[in-house]
Structure 1
Amino acid sequence: MTWHPHITVATIVEQNGRFLMVEESQAGQQVLNQPAGHLEPNESLQQAAIRETLEETGWEVALSAVVGIYLYTAPSNGVTYQRICFAARPVIHHPERPLDSDITAAHWLSRDELFAEPARWRSELVPRCIDDYLAGSLYSLDILRDPRP
């Protein structure tokens, strides 16, 4: 069996002490996650984070930093994900924009509200990324290198 990690991006968007979260369906259950998704062909990590955030929340964002790079193996299926988590600031909201089909809603939640419902976290990376962000674990976007043409 060949092992293939899946590359994903996630975005921490904070405004007035609240975090932009998505409510999505996973295995028939509603869970909370940062705007997140898979890297697509010919896309940079930054482009993927901006695209996923817009598609899942209707918010255009400006990336400001890398929060961290995480490895996570999902206990449900054994798939390993490499998550590059970004920090971003909200720029423009497009409330008329339809959200991705698996997204129920986008919510602004405080850390306390989110941490009060651990059974609803999509994975343990949800709180970990927020706590790393709040701890000031931020790295320059310059550490990322796009492929050369």
Structure 2
Amino acid sequence: MIWTPHVTVAAVAEENGRFLLVEEVVDGRRCFNQPAGHWDPGETLLEAVTRETLEETGHFFRPEYLTGIYHWEYPAKNLTYLRFAFGGHLGTRDTSRALDAGIIGPVWLTPEEMAAREGEMRSVMVQRCMADYRAGQRYPLELLHMV
């Protein structure tokens, strides 16, 4: 068997003490996640997080720093995820844009609201990314190199 980890990106965006999340349906379950998705061939990680945020929320996103890199094993499906989470500037929302399949829509939650709904988060990575962001973890984008 060939091991093929899933490389994903996520956007952490805050406005007025609330964080942008996406309500979505995954495996028949409603849950919350940061705007996130898979890194596609031919794009940079920065392009991927910008694209995913636009596709899932209609918001334009400009990544400004790396919040963290996360490794998570999803035993129910025998999958490995490697997530690159980025903080940055959230632009306007294009409300005419159709969102990705399975996306109910963007929602804004406070950290307290997120904690109260912990069991509704898509994975443990959602809360971990948020905790690192709130702790002030900011790494320069220059850490990422294309060679």
For the aligned pair, the TM-score class normalised by the smaller chain equals: over 0.9
Provide Cα deviations, 1:37-75, integer angstroms capped at 9, x if missing partner: 001110000000000000000000111110011111112
SS of equivalent to 1:54: helix
How many aligned positions are there? 147
Whether 1:139 and 2:139 are equivalent positions in the alignment is yes
Distance 1:29 1:36 in 2: 17
Whether 1:20 and 2:20 are equivalent positions in the alignment is yes
SS of equivalent to 1:113: helix
Letter in 1 for 2:77: N
Letter in 1 for 2:123: S
After TM superposition, the structure 1 = structure 2 runs for residues 94-113 of structure 1, keeping only pairs within 5 Å, are 94-113=94-113
1:63, 1:86 within 8 Å by CA — same for their partners in 2?
yes
Distance 1:124 1:100 in 2: 22
Tell me which stretches of 4 or more aligned residues in structure 1 moved more than 6 Å.
Answer: none
1:73, 1:80 within 8 Å by CA — same for their partners in 2?
yes
After TM superposition, the structure 1 = structure 2 runs for residues 44-63 of structure 1, keeping only pairs within 5 Å, are 44-63=44-63
The match for 2:7 is 7
Taking every aligned residue pair, what percent have the same amino acid on both sides? 43
Letter in 2 for 1:18: R
What residue ranges of structure 1 are gaps of 5+ in the alignment? none
Distance 2:89 2:13 in 1: 6
Q: TM-score, normalised by structure 1?
A: 0.96
Compute the displacement of 1:88 (Å): 1.4
Compute the displacement of 1:91 (Å): 1.3
Distance 1:44 1:62 in 2: 13
The match for 1:75 is 75
Compute the displacement of 1:118 (Å): 1.3
1:15, 1:89 within 8 Å by CA — same for their partners in 2?
no
1:73, 1:79 within 8 Å by CA — same for their partners in 2?
yes
The match for 1:88 is 88
